[in-house]
A and B are shown apart, each in its own frame.
Chain A
Amino acid sequence: MTKSELIARLAARFPQLVVKDADYAVKMILDAMTDALARGDRIEIRGFGSFALNYRPPRLGRNPKSGDKVQVPEKYVPHFKAGKELRERVDYPQ
């Protein structure tokens, strides 16, 4: 499913709204989630999962082309952890 398919499915669930509303709502939700992570905040969606940042310490890397050593600075990367309900629903029936 792509973002435009998601918008179409949401629009179908809210016949009283125009497609533009669903489109704008999806954009707002994703922007708010991006902004939260960029601020260093967590995101917790019950039944779905949580997003947080993982720390990557500075390290000595190499330029794969020239073989030169380069200092790679510390950084944070987004990490998603599926919630219990999503995990169980996606898994094979036990």
Chain B
Amino acid sequence: MTLTKAELADLLFEKVGLNKREAKDMVEAFFDEVRLSLEGGDGVKLSGFGNFQLRDKPQRPGRNPKTGEEIPITARRVVTFHSSQKLKTAVETTPRGSVQQF
């Protein structure tokens, strides 16, 4: 099973009592606001869940794995996520059947 925006919207409809339209819009707005903050260079701290931070990575040498040709990996800004202790503990201690990887 995979959790998606559709399931989150269903949950807001059932548990929070938003109408279907509002529930769908609220889920969109949630991730939109997190994205906007990160886009503006401001990290996001969601206590009890985790922190999204921005990291500036300098240029580094890389190579094309197919051709072996050396090409620089340009400097970039990336998002990193650090889970809270609460999330780590929840994941570590809950028994599970199958774990899906990327």
Contact = CB atoms under 8 A, between A and B. Distances in A.
B47 to A, nearest CB: 5
A39 B18 CA distance: 26
A70 interface: no
Given A1-B44, A53-B99, A90-B78, A43 B38 contact: no
Interface of B: 1-5, 7-8, 11-12, 15-18, 22, 25-27, 29-31, 33-35, 37-39, 42-50, 52, 54, 74-81, 83, 86-88, 90-92, 94, 96-102
Contacts of A53: 91, 99-101
A32 B78 contact: no
A3 B76 contact: no
A91 B73 CA distance: 13
Contacts, number: 173
A78 interface: yes
B46 to A, nearest CB: 5
A89 B52 CA distance: 14
A40 B98 contact: yes
Given A2-B45, A10-B29, A29-B27, A38 B101 contact: no
